[in-house]
Amino acid sequence: MVLKDVVTSDILIKLYNIYDSHRDAILWFLEELDVDSYDEYIQKYGGSSIQRSYFIAVCGFFELSGVIVSHRMIDPDIYFDMFNPTPFWNKAISTVEGMRKKRPHIYENFEMLNNKRLGWTKKREYDKKKISRD
């Protein structure tokens, strides 16, 4: 199991480095991105704006993460202890739904990752309650 632990640690550290290298994009996404539709996203951030590249960087990170988690390259418990895609997905969903009119599968691994995180959170809360009753 030592080799698996080393590989998992390496993947986690590399993911964190990618995440951290996009700190400006992450902060913009959480604090400033404010749209209710794809049309509004295009109106505000269309063209070659820095905000559009921020959107792509953040969604791309979670898309990559979704592929890694779904292919079991890292244990979801380890991943979700470090990263939470839900606030990002909640901000991105209206834009992604509009994008899917032309590209039906765009960011589907990001969406799947968020759904797995929601299930992971429910299980964790259930386990906490069960422990506290014992």
Over the stretch 85-106, which tens digit does the pLDDT of each residue have?
A: 999 999 999 999 999 999 999 9
Q: Check if the beta carbon of residue 12 is closer than 8 Å to that of residue 79.
A: yes
Can you give the pTM of this predicted structure? 0.89
Query: How far is 51 from 25, CA to CA, in rounded Å?
Result: 8
CB-based contacts of 35, cutoff 8 Å, min separation 6: 41, 44, 45, 94, 95
pLDDT at 59: 98
* Alpha helices, H only, 32-107: 38-45, 50-70, 76-82, 86-99
Gap between the Cα atoms of 107 and 120, Å rounded: 20
Of 8-12, 36-40, 58-62, 112-116, the one with minimum mean pLDDT is 8-12
